Amino acid sequence: MTALTLTLKKIPQQRIDCSPLTPDALAGKSAADIAAIPLQSGKNTLRVDALFDVSGDDVAEIVFMNGCDKLDYIGAAMHSGRIIIHGDAGCYLGFRKKGGEIVQHGNAGNFAASGMTGGLLHIHGNAGDFLAAAIPGDRKGMAGGLVIVTGNAGDRTGDQMRRGIVLIEGNAGDYCASRMIAGTIGVMGATGDYPGYGMKRGTLLLFKPPRLIATIQDCGMHTLPFLKLMYKSFRDLPSKFAHLDQTRVRRYAGDLANDGKGEILLFS
Amino acid sequence: MLTKLSGGTVYDPAHGIDGKVMDIYIRDGRIVERPQDTERIDQEYKLNGKIVMAGAIDMHTHIGGGKVNIARSMLPEDHRHDPAAHSGACRAGCGHAVPSTLTAGYRYAEMGYTAGFEPAVLPMNARQAHLEMGDTPMIDKGGYAMLGSDDLFLRMLAAKKDQNAINDYVAWTIAASQAIGIKVVNAGGINAFKFNQRFLDLDEKNSRYDITPREVLKTLSRAVYELGVPHPLHVHGNNLGVPGNVETTLNSMAGVEGYPMHLTHIQFHSYGVEGDRKFSSGASRIAEAINKNKNISADVGQILFGQTVTVSGDQMSQFRNAELGSPRKMVCMDIECDAGCGVVPFKYKDQNFVNALQWAIGLEIFLLVDDPWRIFLTTDHPNGAPFTSYPHLIKLLMDKSFRKDVFATLNADAQTMSTLASIDREYTLYEIAIMTRAGAAKLVGLHDRGHLGAGAAADITVYTDNADREKMFAKPDYVFKDGQLVVKDGSIVKVVWGATHTVRPEFDRGIEKEIKTYFDKYHTIKMEHMKVSNDELEDGGRSKIIVQECKGRREKTA
């Protein structure tokens, strides 16, 4: 058994909805069945084999080759298994993902990990805006699971995020953790303007001094022993965050305009 | 062009026809008498073994106006989860609880409905409501203008104005908002909400105007009757959803002192306070009162389980209910000096005690009211459930074993509080045809709809008889709208735009002087700008206005 490999033949003209191509949805399907699955492309539908060269037969592991930024909804609603993407992905990567693993070697589009509730999303590259955020109209963004981004993330990372952990080894854009309800976001690089804007609860781990709004208040330096527990949970992660051990941090609390139970911990 | 529908089994309660095999002839959009044998039949549909009824009429459905649009914009998930792709004659759309206008029209026609009436047209929002309804294809439309919580009416009442002046104002409102009736929502309560009252019982006074809901109901029901408007005052009672409101509802019936009144979504107004949880069914008392008082009619507002959204002018109730919303979003707003509006998404759950009992109460009312001419099939779309669940509701009414099976799966505590399992009544096709066709047309005052006699508009629905009534009513074989075949085998084959039904009661134009002064002083727009013109409804000829006959103004009746 080799992993089911979907090699994109050429960059499609319209965006493609790849949500039918998950290990759960393909379980029990033959190669011919998979080749015939219709994918929404703009207002038309295209067969899988019109877009991809299909090889391999183990649907528990799906590999996308030649990924491009028009492939939306990869790994949407998946429960189990593994998806590996070589190349870029479009918007909504891991949308409402409940479990399983997505590993990407390339850049993800907007709204990656939106509504995700479990499992791992590991992006070896950059993520677009609204990483782990809620799509318009939804009340909650990411609600569980783990996201690791080795590159940078765009604006509004973790907007209305509810639960789970987002670890960004590069920089994050403006309004990081805006309207965050709960959960943890770590950013090793710089953050843009106004992190924690409208933050209700939750924890933001920063390593560079942020530019804050007035309703997030400096609470001074603290030694926080509970951080050791968090570090222990990070210890086995395939990320730079696995090596943290500093318990002396500067703590900011806010956003006081929205309950003020959120915190920003600054390591420096 | 002469069309013949031959050999169908016809149910036409307006003419007492209960399942008789007969032919129907259509010429130029109207049903005609049997033509002479020499005349050539241009088209014939052989309907042997099929069931033929007039097109169905939904006499209470929220398909237009500000609140529906608020619900649409507030619930993108409702649209995301229910897309409707473009196909054939139809354009794309979306939405389960609050579908887009086009999709709403298509879905109505695909179920055999040919008319729907928007019950909460705020006069100030009438233009928006008519534009949305004008964009709803396939079916005929009309609206009931909302009065009773507007400041001008309450001022007139507080100043003890003559009933004639009030009648003129009511008639002016119908004309200006191009409505076919008058609705009152939580009589005086929406206004009281603005003065910080959170409940208003029938004999409780509005703290600003010193007016009770009882006075509002009596004055308005009398006004509608004296103006000769065929549709009786359409009443959304006080204390919606409050346990114990069955007393309020019974008192309201008595309060109109014999004037005709239609009580809408009465299921939400039939709750007692018995039992461990102080929430019980008042259905039998309500049904008994409806059976006894011939001036009262009602539609049920049945709830069915699943996700929907409640949209209402009853800001006071919606404010109370906002905490129960699912997902947790809501809009409650004042609308000028007219009234207010509240939108709260809601999920009815079959294992929830209250929801399960609401479901049973609705069905109890359906089954305990004897006269199908005075009880109507609605879910108060989308408040109890989307209108697309009507076939399911019809099956619940027509099939007692199905009904009992569903009932047995509900919340066990709710089951012990309901007598539903002991009611064996099953609705017949004839009774369904009364509720959804003949009775509804008579109630709304549509003289040429809801029946299949000569002269009626050829709005006709043809079903294949099927013991599974849900399947039968969900997918008619043919639907004719004004003589044109618009639906075949449950799919749209031709898109038409329907008409807007109105009434035009007479009134003394002198009333405009007072209304104008009021508009100039308190409203954001001028009186002349508020009036909806015929051109706006006709939309360059796509739609048309049908003025239904008024009975003529009556002299003082009290």
Instruction: Tell me what ipTM this predicted complex has.
Output: 0.77
Q: Which residue on chain B is closest to A136 by alpha carbon?
A: B76
**Residue B68, pLDDT score:** 93
Q: How confident is the model at residue B337 (pLDDT cuts 50, 70, 90)?
A: confident
- End-to-end CA gap in chain A: 49
Q: Give the gap in angstroms from C-alpha A235 to the nearest C-alpha of chain B.
A: 37
**How far from B308 is each of A109, B260, B329, B541, CA to CA, in Å?**
32, 32, 13, 35
Q: Which residues of A touch B80 (CB under 8 A)?
A: 137
pLDDT confidence of residue B284: 96
Residue B555 in this model has a pLDDT that exceeds 90: no
Helix/strand/coil for A87: strand
Instruction: Report the interhelical angle of B390-398 vs B400-408 (nearest 10°).
Output: 110
Instruction: Look up the domain containing A148 and give its range.
Output: 107-266
C-alpha closest to that of B449 among B356, B546, B374, B355: B546
Per DSSP, what are the bridge partners of residue B56? B113
Residue B400 in contact with residue B426, Cβ under 8 Å? Answer: yes
Note whether residue A172 is domain-resident. Answer: yes
Using CA coordinates, name the residue in chain B closest to A43. Answer: B85
What confidence score (pLDDT) does residue B539 get? 82
Is A59 domain-assigned?
no
Q: Tell me if chain B has a CB within 8 Å of the CB of A139.
A: yes
- Cβ atoms of B429 and B51 closer than 8 Å: yes
Question: Which 8-state DSSP code applies to residue B112?
Answer: T
Q: How far is A137 from chain B (nearest CA, A)?
A: 6
Q: Mind listing the pLDDT tens digit for each residue in B167-221?
A: 999 999 999 999 999 999 999 999 999 999 999 999 999 999 999 999 999 999 9
Does the residue A34 lie in any domain? no
Residue B552 has pLDDT above 90, yes or no: no
* Most A-contacting residue of B72, B73, B77 (CB-CB within 10 A), to test interface: B77
DSSP assignment of A196-223: TTT--S-EEEESS--B--TTSEEEEEEE
In this predicted structure, the answer to whether residue B556 has a pLDDT above a threshold of 90 is no
* Under 8 Å between Cβ of B267 and B303: yes
Closest by alpha carbon to A91, among A114, A124, A65, A118?
A114
pLDDT for the residue B558: 67
pLDDT of residue A232 exceeding 90? yes
Q: Do A137 and B328 touch (CB under 8 A)?
A: no
- Burial label for B180, CB within 10 Å (0-12, 13-18, 19+), is buried
- In B421-490 the beta strands, taken as DSSP E runs, fall at 460-464, 478-481, 484-488
For B378-418, the pLDDT digits (tens) are 999 999 999 999 999 999 999 999 999 999 999 999 999 99
A268: Cβ–Cβ under 8 A, 6 or more apart, which residues? A207, A208, A209, A250
Q: Which residues of A touch B74 (CB under 8 A)?
A: 137
Judge: B329–A139 Cβ closer than 8 Å, yes or no: yes
For residues A224-246, one letter each, b for 16 or more C-beta atoms within 10 angstroms of the residue's C-beta and e for the rest, the string is eeebeebbeebeebebebeebee
Q: Say which residues have a Cβ less than 8 Å from residue B171's Cβ, sequence separation at least 6.
A: B227, B505, B506, B507
A47 compared with B88, residue with greater pLDDT: A47
Q: Closest approach of chain B CAs to the CA of A1, in angstroms?
A: 36
Q: Nearest-CA distance from A196 to chain B in Å? A: 23
State the residue for tokens 């305990």: B368
Domains and CATH numbers, chain B: 53-492 (3.20.20)
Distance, C-alpha B519 to centroid of its chain: 29
Chain pair A-B, CB pairs under 8 angstroms: 11
CB-based contact (8 Å) between A136 and chain B? yes
Tokens of B432: 């369904």
C-alpha separations of B426 from B62, B246, B394, B545 in Å: 28, 25, 10, 38
Q: Is the peptide bond before B327 cis (omega within 30 degrees of 0)?
A: yes
Residue A3 lies in a domain: no
Nearest residue in chain B measured CA to CA from A44: B85
Cβ-contact A245, A225 below 8 angstroms: no
Asked if residue A124 is part of any domain, the answer here is yes
Query: A240 CA to chain B: closest CA distance, Å?
Result: 37
Q: What pLDDT was estimated at residue B429? A: 97
Q: Catalogue the E-assigned strands of B76-139.
A: 83-84, 93-94, 113-121
Residue in chain A lying closest to B74 (CA) = A137
What B154-162 contacts at long range (C-beta under 8 Å, 24+ apart), as own/partner pairs, is B154/B188, B154/B191, B154/B206, B154/B208, B154/B209, B154/B211, B154/B216, B155/B209, B155/B518, B157/B209, B157/B211, B157/B215, B157/B216, B157/B219, B158/B209, B158/B210, B158/B211
Q: For residues B403, B406, B411 and B413, what is the CA-based torsion angle, rounded to 10 degrees?
A: 30
Residue A247 within any structural domain of the chain: yes
Q: Scan for tokens 């004296």, then name that residue.
A: B226
Question: What is the distance in angstroms between the Cα of A208 and the nearest Cα belonging to chain B?
Answer: 36
Q: How far is A233 from chain B (nearest CA, A)?
A: 33
Residue B80 in contact with residue B95, Cβ under 8 Å? no
Predicted pLDDT of residue B481: 97
Interface residue of A114, A138, A160, A181 to substitute, partner B, most B CBs within 10 Å: A138
B76 and A137 in contact by Cβ < 8 A? yes
pLDDT greater than 80 at residue B557: no
- The amino acid sitting at A246 is Q
Please list, in sequence order, all residues whose beta carbon lies within 8 angstroms of the beta carbon of residue B107, skipping any fewer than 6 positions away: B99, B387, B388
Q: Do A139 and B75 touch (CB under 8 A)?
A: no
Residue of A nearest to B71 (CA): A137
Q: State chain B's mean pLDDT as an integer.
A: 95
Distance between CA atoms of residues B558 and B301, nearest Å: 32
Count Cα atoms within 13 angstroms, Cβ side, for A23.
Answer: 21
Going by C-alpha positions, the residue among B529, B555, B513 that lies closest to residue B177 is: B529
Residues of A in contact with B77 (CB under 8 A): 137-138
> What tokens appear for B81 in the block?
């989860």
Domain count, chain A: 1
Tell which of A139, A181, A200 to mutate to test the B interface (max B CBs under 10 Å): A139
Report chain B residues whose CB lies below 8 A from the CB of A135.
76
Two tokens, residue A88? 């870029």
SS3 A246: coil
Summarize pLDDT for A249-261 with one digit per residue, the tens: 999 998 999 989 9
In this model, does residue A1 exceed pLDDT 90? no
- From the list B76, B328, B329, the residue facing A136 with the nearest CB is B76
Nearest chain A residue to B78, by CA: A137
Put simply, the answer to whether B76 touches A139 (Cβ < 8 Å) is no
A18 domain-assigned:
no
Contacts of A138 in chain B (CB under 8 A): 77
User: Does residue B540 surpass a pLDDT of 90?
Assistant: no
Mutate to test the interface with A, among B80, B81, B96, B326 (most CBs of A within 10 A): B80
In this prediction, residue B336 carries a pLDDT of 87
A58-77 mean pLDDT? 96
Q: How far apart are CA B350 and CA B362, in angstroms?
A: 14
Which among B439, B385, B147, B372 has a CA at the least distance from the CA of B268?
B385
Residues of B in contact with A137 (CB under 8 A): 74-77, 80
d(CA B198, CA B33): 57
How many angstroms separate the CA of residue B328 from the nearest CA in chain A?
A: 8
Say how far apart CA B554 and CA B221 lie, in whole Å. 13
**Helix H or strand E segment including A114:** none
| Percent of the residues in chain A that have a pLDDT greater than 90, as a whole number | 95
Q: Identify which of A135, A136, A139 has the shortest CB distance to residue B327.
A: A139
Q: Is pLDDT of A54 > 90? A: yes
The span from the CA of B378 to the CA of A150, in Å, is 56
Residue with tokens 């049973």: B360
Beta bridge pairs of residue A205: A186, A265
Average pLDDT over residues B115-132: 95
Residue A138 in contact with partner chain B when CB distance is under 8 A: yes
Q: Tell me whether residue A226 is in a domain.
A: yes
Ramachandran region of residue B534, left (φ > 0), alpha (ψ -120 to 50) or beta? alpha
For residue B240, give the nearest of B338, B153, B310 by alpha carbon: B310
Residue B135, pLDDT score? 94
> Going by C-beta distance under 8 Å and a sequence separation of 6 or more, which residues neighbour residue B528?
none
Nearest residue in chain A measured CA to CA from B327: A139
